[in-house]
Amino acid sequence: MRNIIVRDASGASRVLKNKPFEYEAVLERTIAELPSIVPLETILDEPISHVTIGTQWPAGNGAVDIVLLGSDGLLTIIETKLARNPESRRQVIAQVLEYAAYLSELALFDVVRLAEEFFQHERCPTEFQGWSFDRALSVLLGDDGEGEGINELKGRIEQNLHEGRVRLVVAVDELGEQAQKIVTFLNSHSTFDIYLLQISEFMDGDGKSILVPALHGYAPKIGRSPQRVHWTWEMLNASWPTEAVERAHALTLHLADLSPDWQPEISLHPSWSTVRCLGRAVCGVTLFKRKPPELWFLLAETPEQTLPNDVVPRQTKSYLYLAGNLEALTRETLHALCRAALAQAGIDPSNP
């Protein structure tokens, strides 16, 4: 148990005693209301500000206590645990890693939707209630919080999401040596950052509350894997026949143009393209060395959809592939296949 000694100009001093948090919900609310309490500036070279964009975000069978968005475009996932909680710190670290795995699958569309739902919810701190996502970005950017700056920050958020880059924090009132060792090891050997945030509260005689935060677990990276390549059509053109890449490019754009309401996003990989609709990777184009490109749809079963005779379907356990004269596929047919893929993913495409 720590104390703070306050000494005034006359030399008189008084002791401020540590006040334990009564419930984890109190610690959670404190961080949500004061996102600046995460002192990243003590370990990073650049100042990073945060806004709270969510509490109790769904993640698998659980929910993330707090989600912050940083001015560097990274999501920060925070799980709170008090020392008297019987759950071991190892379990909590495993839990926050599990939550990160779920949230890393989100697209920008999902983050915007969840954040704006939070800004309208009663759990949202009064300061942030009624905000839009763009308003939150504007506050993060300060003087640069206008159209171009906001779009640039959205691009960084989207890139970090695609790369699975998140920042993880376990917020505690007291540190444990075992948890510190685990976190330091993970930081040394991983591509993500995970920290222990200790927050101590002290009460002054006039009823004021003094909060003292400290981050623990920082360690330099050892053997960090190289950054993921951001593939472009030009890079694919250098690896595949020009005709095949041009055809794949045209087909991908055609898929992305099926419905603007589905928030289509295109991403490229070494041998295929992906079109995400409403945050789900539902379709795209695959390149092959010895045959023309094929369309793919995330469909475990071939839907009852009439295909032209010169279009050949191939069904696997999770995907439907279409080969042959793909240009013969009508817009209505492709639209129906994408709708079926979205429905299989549990999304109502008519009510995004």
pTM for the full model? 0.60
Span 314-328, pLDDT tens digits = 887 677 889 999 999
What pLDDT does residue 271 have? 79
Percent of the chain with pLDDT over 70: 91
* 3-state SS class at 74: coil
With a cut of 50, say whether residue 31 has pLDDT above it.
yes
Span 60-104, pLDDT tens digits = 888 999 999 998 899 999 998 887 665 656 678 888 888 888 887
The position carrying tokens 């999304």 is 347
Lookup: tokens for 74: 């990274």
What DSSP letter does each residue of 252-274 carry, written as one string? HHHHHTS-GGG--EEEE-SSEEE
Among 28, 22, 24, CA closest to 57:
28
Mean pLDDT of 272-293: 86
* 3-state SS class at 57: strand
